[in-house]
Chain A
Amino acid sequence: MRIVFFCISFIVTIVLIVALGTRTWLPVPLGSFLSPQHGIWQNAEPLGQDFNDDLQFPQLKGKSTVYIDDRLVPHIVSDNDDDACFIQGYLHARFRLWQMEFQTYAAAGRISEIVGEKALQYDKGRRRLGMVYAAENMLKEMEANPITKAQVDNYTAGVNAYIASLPESRLPVEYKLLGYRPEKWNNLKTALFVKQMAQTLSGFSDDLPLTKAKAFFGDEALRILFPQVDDSLDPVIPKETVFPAPTVTPAAPVASDSLYLNKSKATGTVQEIKKPNPANGSNNWAVSGSRTQSGAPILCNDPHLDLSFPAIWYEMQVTTPTMNAYGVSFPGAPGIIIGFNDSIAFGFTSSERDVMDYYAIRFKDETKTQYWFDSSWKNSNLRIEEIKVKGKPVVYDTVAYSIFGPVAYDNSYPSADEPGAALAIRWKAHDPSNELLMWYYLNRANNYSDYKNALQYFTNPAHNVVFASKSGDIAIWHQGALPARWNRQGIYVMPGEDSSYMWQGFIPMDENPHILNPERGFVSSANQRPADSTYPYFIPGYYDLYRGIAINRKLNAMHGITADDMMKLQNDNYNVFAETTRPLLLKYIKDSLLNENERKYLDIVNGWSLYNNINERGATIFKLWYDNLEKQVWDDEFEKAGVTALRPSEKTLTEALLRDTAFKYIDNINTPEHETIADVITSAYQQAAKTADSLSAINQLTWGANKNTSIYHLLGAAMMPFARTGLPVGGGAHIINAMQHNHGPSWRMVVELTNETAAYVVYPGGQSGNPGSPYYDSFVDKWAAGEYYKAWFMKRGEQEGDKLVWKMEFGRE
């Protein structure tokens, strides 16, 4: 009997240990997860955490000190470049390991390994885009250059030194929640990270839905619905700038009018690979000393991205015998990405140029081993993608690589209406390049010619790179290796059966739009078209319009500018789009048709300040109104065309209505009546008023409540306690303060290049990626309030400072 009691008790004990130690019955293994010495309690960082450390690694060559300030910003001072890269890798891992690894998993299409089947479609999309192929091509270039090879080798060694020192108990909390462990870092992962950014910023393409739309509308109509140059464009390079004659003159293939621009061919409704957020963009500008109070240039930059925890940026300073740069880095890559050094400052906005095209491929048979090209069957390279899925068998997917690039869509992916229709991607991000070299030189640049020299290594994703120097120069280059296209090349899916539709060359760097010290005393960019229609190349893209107008209008009117003025400008909530559009709406609305309740909202729109401040209700109603108007104008035609995911932009509709009140798409083709501009504006308003009523009932009519500015954890809705929601931030699309629901200024920087550099910075996050650290979200409230920190830019030789709090010493064993 006693044996039975023992056995029962013993079995209960074992079952408890197994049940609490595995995920078989529980979503998290509560035993190890809550064990105070192993689990999440180990991630609960004490408020007064001591970050002092003395670390020895055999890989280091000399001695380094990391001075850490009160905001947990590290200032690395190294006696050689290699050690600085090692320490940067170490610190990225120390504070952001989970994030940097997760982002490279995301780039490589490996999320299913972590979260299971629900990420399978996403992962397949990444494989189909050739993300790893792109990273491999970059890796070869990085490792072929001795400078960048040393950078990534040492960076990787630093990350791995941290991972090797990491006991199970100190794993970031996300690993404990999801139940996996970090892999060793390698140089390919750095390349993958860079390519993830390339996809975010140059992976946008509407070629497929436009091809579908062409079958219904025809090319002539689409030229109007998706115009190349907006009427009110204020380009990056001021109008009236004279561009040199093009040295590359691409020729359209014979008969392209009938073969390519004709109406007949549609590719069916393919489900598109997840595209980047179209709002990805940025503002940057630099004002020359002639416009500032101090007489020194001021450079500003705020990149607009999905806001996330942990933040995409990690702030730091790196000082070695060859450089002294401060700014933000990407956890995952060496170098300072946006920032300044002793002599210059630099910033980026996305070029929005289209560098991704599609070609229709004809395979010989279902094996995809051969395709027809230039009058013969060519062999394709088959890449077998092995997608590991948590808790499920491995999924295999075969992607054929053609002369253009990976055949993203074919009979096995995703599900084309036309079986067998195969589409290859030609994407600039697949080409070998070494962007790290650009940052290497940019971090060390002393003047304009150093900056220009650095830019030659920047091929993709193309950006407007703004520059200012202590010697007084300001400049901006619209830089990247950008295809020289014949008119309309790459707007639609192109024939891929011969070489005639391929890219014929690239625009030489000197012919990329750029300007040095313009007469107006400032340079700026906000993702608008870089140049007006006199620019001699065909440059399709996904350009913005109104932010650029707003910035240039403000800067033109400013004199005696201070850093404080620039911070205010970055937080400006004025809506130029609404300023342009509201008069049109108010002019045509038939208010005699409105009931009293509806008229109430009209008064609010009428009296709106045109600032998207959080307490404004007019901003919300205006947006509801316009969204409804767009639906009324476009949905009938585009639904008939079978195009679901694409509509002309807001700016295009406004400009079309301003140009022509009888714009033909106003009419609803599904009704016998002929709708006028007044009809659609009025009925759109009535719809908006209805929605406004229901929003008002739940107190969500004010712009701030409606927008609900939020920063989510990278794992999204599954990790809501790690998010910050309901932040009191105004702004929005088309506005300088481009803060939408969870997309907007991911880093704000104002640098005044006086003798002693004065930089003001902030980002929506914190230096630590650990949700259990007070430094996880420590900058968020200041960022939300539109305030900044004065950066502590350590001088060479400086070893003390009132902001210095901790020191980490690094040396050889």
Chain B
Amino acid sequence: MKFIVSIVLTALLSFVACLYLPWWSIAVVSFLIPMIIFQKPYMAFITGFVSLLLLWGGLAWWISTANDDLLAHKISVLVIKADSPFLLIGLTALIGAVVAAFAALSGSLLRRLF
């Protein structure tokens, strides 16, 4: 239950934070959530990872689909040297996921100190 709530909360608050703050606010949110709703470090790590994987992957997929992948085709060639909107969306999701995972891990480890 904690796991699900943490995932939803991390995603939701990350989305809200990014409306006003820079992209790395996802790390701040992911860091704070396990401080409030404690989970073991590895669970926190998975929570952050899954949460942002879903949020960033989902958002990118949703935006790109509405755009008929027009821009994703072009940017994927520029950035990953392969014409693949799918890979670009995947990379987006992965970057969000990794940053959030380590932030959440740090949050959980910090909470454990007290």
B-binding residues in A (CB < 8 A):
2-3, 5-6, 9-10, 12-13, 16-17, 20-21, 28, 30-47, 173, 177, 719-722, 771-774
Contacts and interface: CB of A to CB of B under 8 A. Distances in A.
A47 B73 CA distance: 15
A32 B25 CA distance: 11
B102 A12 contact: yes
B15 interface: yes
B71 A37 contact: no
Contacts of B96: 35
A3 B78 contact: no
Contacts of A2: 109, 112-113
A37 B27 contact: no
Contacts, number: 123
Interface string B26-44: 0100010000000001000
Contact of A16 (B31, B63, B102): B102
Contact of B77 (A12, A13, A173, A721): A721
A722 B74 contact: yes
A774 B18 CA distance: 27
Contacts of A38: 18, 22-23
A34 B109 contact: no
Nearest to A47: B68
Nearest to B48: A13
Given A20-B95, A31-B95, A44 B72 contact: yes
Interface of B: 15, 18-19, 22-24, 27, 31, 41, 55-56, 59-60, 63-64, 66-68, 70-75, 77-79, 88, 91-92, 95-96, 98-99, 102-103, 105-106, 109-110, 112-113
A37 B15 CA distance: 8
Contact of B106 (A10, A20, A774): A10
A163 B23 CA distance: 21
A409 to B, nearest CB: 38
A506 B18 CA distance: 62
Nearest to A16: B99
- Complex A-B, nearest 6 residue pairs according to Cβ-Cβ distance, in ascending order: A772-B71, A36-B59, A35-B23, A44-B67, A721-B74, A6-B109
6 contacts: A17-B27, A20-B99, A34-B92, A38-B18, A43-B71, A44-B67
A430 B57 CA distance: 54
A42 B63 CA distance: 8
A721 B63 CA distance: 20
A772 B78 CA distance: 13
Contacts of B99: 13, 16-17, 20, 31
Contact of A39 (B23, B31, B77): B23
A46 B67 contact: yes
Contacts of A32: 22-23
Nearest to B75: A40
A21 B23 contact: yes
B40 to A, nearest CB: 12
Contacts of A173: 71, 75
Nearest to A45: B67
Contacts of A41: 59-60, 63-64, 71, 92
B63 A35 contact: no
B110 A6 contact: yes
Nearest to A39: B23
A16 B27 CA distance: 10
Given A16-B99, A17-B27, A772-B67, 20 more contacts: A2-B113, A6-B106, A9-B102, A10-B109, A13-B103, A13-B106, A16-B27, A17-B24, A31-B24, A31-B95, A34-B95, A35-B56, A39-B23, A40-B75, A41-B71, A44-B71, A46-B67, A47-B66, A720-B77, A721-B75
Nearest to B23: A35
Contact of A36 (B56, B75, B110): B56
B18 A772 contact: no
A20 B64 CA distance: 22
A734 to B, nearest CB: 35
A135 B15 CA distance: 46
Given A21-B24, A39-B23, A16 B64 contact: no
A5 B59 contact: no
A47 B67 contact: yes
Contacts of B31: 13
Contacts of A30: 79, 91, 95
Given A13-B99, A32-B23, A47-B66, A721 B106 contact: no
A564 to B, nearest CB: 33
A201 B105 CA distance: 62
A13 B102 contact: yes
A381 B19 CA distance: 52
A771 B71 CA distance: 6
A28 B79 contact: yes
